[in-house]
Amino acid sequence: MKSILFALRVSDLERSLAFYTTVGYVDLGKVPFDDGSSLVWLRLPGETSVSLELVHRPADGPVEVRGFEHFAIEVESLSAAVDRLTEAGLAPGEPVVHGPDGPKTAWLVDPDGYRLELVEWPPGGPPTPDA
């Protein structure tokens, strides 16, 4: 068993697509439906398949972000990612270092209020169950 993707309902598909492609996601295609709703499949460059689905259902009314905490994206260099995203017009938060052996993180919020955590692992990578 493995996770394959997660889906976010968005209020403005083009605005969200612009945000996520600026973050670094690659647009794999759109699936339109007769009722005016649609899906867009995305993945990060290092991924082999879809990992994020944007769901646009205008007839369902406003998007409410409830009960959703965040999702995380691993970056090679947090400072480079924050600089790139800032230069591209996004507003990532200030990087935080979590102890001498912990990860570095920064937060970013998408147009609908979904929170993304950018994570740079320390040398040796993320913790493992045996650690």
What is the C-alpha to C-alpha distance for residues 80 and 83, in angstroms, rounded to an integer? Answer: 5
104-109 and 52-56 strand pairing: unpaired
Which residues, 6+ apart, have CB-to-CB distance to 6 below 8 Å? Answer: 51, 52, 53, 71
Range of the domain at 75: 67-131
Are residues 80 and 117 both part of a single domain? yes
pLDDT of residue 47 exceeding 90, the answer is yes
Are residues 83 and 129 both part of a single domain? yes
Are residues 75 and 114 both part of a single domain? yes
Are residues 33 and 83 both part of a single domain? no
What is the C-alpha to C-alpha distance for residues 50 and 28, in angstroms, rounded to an integer? Answer: 8
Boundary residue ending a domain (22, 43, 59) = 59
Give the model confidence (pLDDT) of 74-89 as tens digits.
999 999 999 999 999 9
Average pLDDT over residues 32-47: 95
**Residue 112: which CATH number?**
3.10.180.10
52-56 and 38-43 strand pairing: antiparallel
> How many domains is the chain built from?
2
pTM over 0.75: yes
Give the model confidence (pLDDT) of 48-67 as tens digits.
999 999 999 999 999 999 88
